[in-house]
Amino acid sequence: MEVVPLTDADEVGRIAADVVETVVRRRADAVLGLATGSTPLPTYRELVRRHRASVGPSYARVRCFNLDEYVGLPAGHPQSYRATIARELTDDLGIAPDRVHGPDPAPDGLADAGARYEAALESAGGVDVQLLGIGSDGHLAFNEPGSSLGSLTRIKTLTEQTRRDNARFFGSLDDVPRHVLTQGLGTILRARHLLLIATGAGKAEALAAAVEGPVSASCPASVLQHHPHVTVLVDEAAAGRLERRDHYREVYDAKPAWQGL
């Protein structure tokens, strides 16, 4: 796991955009794993800015897989993750809607929605780079504390804490769905490169537990310690509880230029 201590959310967004662009330049039909929430927004804005300025790669052949989706929202709801990703990123990058996939929350197919999503990921050849945020309770995608470290895509019930965290996107707490479909921790571990981004003091404790604590279902993001290629981009506030912060800085400053992230 490589922890990269950066200054602020904008710098995190620039470096994360560099990582995504590098993958797409290397492989024009790359498979991108996308996350929702507030944390990836500076990254998405930067990717769109560069694309509009014609300095980014072409995304015409890229395919995208979302991490998760609410269950119970009307189709096309603006807070559905399918609509959010289209609005915040993929439409502006010129990625056709049929190249952007998410777990299918249609009520009559919920029983096998997870298995169908796993099959779709597999037939796409897996995810080249997966963007990840971290919840204030250590969740990864919608894998809340207690989630199996080997879990696959399935329906889950949100904790009260996560529903409160996400109420800002809805009219009120009552409007936040209780159920979601989410890639499992085992699903996420299959991606070839995991890019975790964390910004703000509200993430400091969860991030320290994930990176420096024991691997435990009590902190789902700690499962990242099992993956061979994880990059953690963190701003000063979110790095506030990391005991080895100075070491991460030394390593990053001394990183050979050829190595990349």
Active-site choice (21, 46, 69, 139): 139
| Burial class, 143, CB count within 10 angstroms (exposed 0-12 / middle 13-18 / buried 19+) | buried
How many helices and strands, by DSSP H and E, does the chain display? 8, 10
Shorter beta-carbon distance to ligand PGA: residue 9 or 57: 9
Q: How many residues bind ligand PGA (CB under 6 A)?
A: 6
Is 108 an annotated catalytic residue?
A: no
Residue 13's SS3 state is: helix
SS (H, E, C) 168-222: HHCCCHHHCCCEEEECCHHHHHCCCEEEEEECCHHHHHHHHHHHHCCCECCEHHH
Does 161 engage in binding with ligand PGA (CB under 6 A)? no
Query: Taking the complex as a whole, how short is the minimal distance between the CB of residue 239 and ligand PGA, in angstroms?
Result: 16
Q: Is the Cβ of residue 134 or residue 217 nearer to ligand PGA in the bound state?
A: 134
Residue 42 in contact with ligand PGA, rule: CB under 6 A: no
Q: What is the largest CA-CA distance in the chain?
A: 54
What is the nearest approach in angstroms of ligand PGA to the Cβ of residue 219? 13
Interface with ligand PGA (CB under 6 A), residue from 56, 103, 133, 184: 133
Q: Which is nearer to ligand PGA, 89 or 99 (CB)?
A: 89
Task: Work out which of 37, 103, 114, 177 binds ligand PGA, going by CB under 6 A.
Answer: 37
Instruction: Please answer whether residues 169 and 36 qualify as being in contact, where contact means their C-beta atoms are separated by less than 8 angstroms.
Output: no
Of all residues in the shown chain, the one whose CB is closest to ligand PGA is 37
The amino acid occupying position 261 is L
Per the CB < 8 A criterion, the answer to whether 9 and 41 are in contact is no
Please choose, out of 18-26, 86-94, 131-139, 227-235, the segment that lies near ligand PGA by the rule CB under 6 A: 131-139
> Using CB under 6 A, which of the segments 23-31, 118-126, 127-135, 232-240 binds ligand PGA?
127-135
What crossing angle do the helices spanning 41-52 and 9-26 adopt, rounded to 10°?
A: 60
Phi, psi of 108 (to 5 degrees): -80, -5
135 binds ligand PGA (CB under 6 A): yes
Name the segment binding ligand PGA (CB under 6 A); options: 35-43, 46-54, 147-155, 181-189: 35-43
* Distance of closest approach, residue 131 Cβ to ligand PGA, in angstroms: 10
- Told to judge if 137 belongs to the known catalytic residues of this protein, a careful annotator would answer yes
To the nearest whole angstrom, how small is the minimum distance from the Cβ of residue 202 to ligand PGA?
A: 7
- Residues of span 177-236 touching ligand PGA by CB under 6 A: none
How far apart are alpha carbons 167 and 176 in whole angstroms? 6
The reply to whether 39 sits near ligand PGA by the rule CB under 6 A is yes
3-state secondary structure of 7: coil
CA angle 168, 82, 50 (to 5 degrees): 90
Q: Which chain residues interact with ligand PGA by CB under 6 A?
A: 37-39, 133-135
User: Which residues have a catalytic role annotated?
Assistant: 68, 137, 139, 144
